[in-house]
Amino acid sequence: MLAIVISACLITDPSVCKTDAIPMLVDVAPAKCMMGAAPFVARWGAEHPGWRVVRWRCRPASEKDA
């Protein structure tokens, strides 16, 4: 199972950043995850005003960010 990992920074203070993960509910290949991630990233951005998404990637949902 994969998750979309979003890295976002505060619009008012770009030095303050965070990482959030959106688990994929279906098992997909990593390439398909990246191709289908845009709507999920856009929704996350709409639900988190004040934050700007700077990048995203797909990774195994069980993997934790260091």
pLDDT, tens digit, for every residue of 35-46? 999 999 999 999
Residue 30 zone, left/alpha/beta (φ > 0; ψ -120 to 50; rest): alpha
Higher-confidence position of 25 and 49: 49
What pTM was computed for the model? Answer: 0.84
What's the CA gap between 15 and 33, in Å, rounded? Answer: 28
Higher-confidence position of 62 and 34: 34
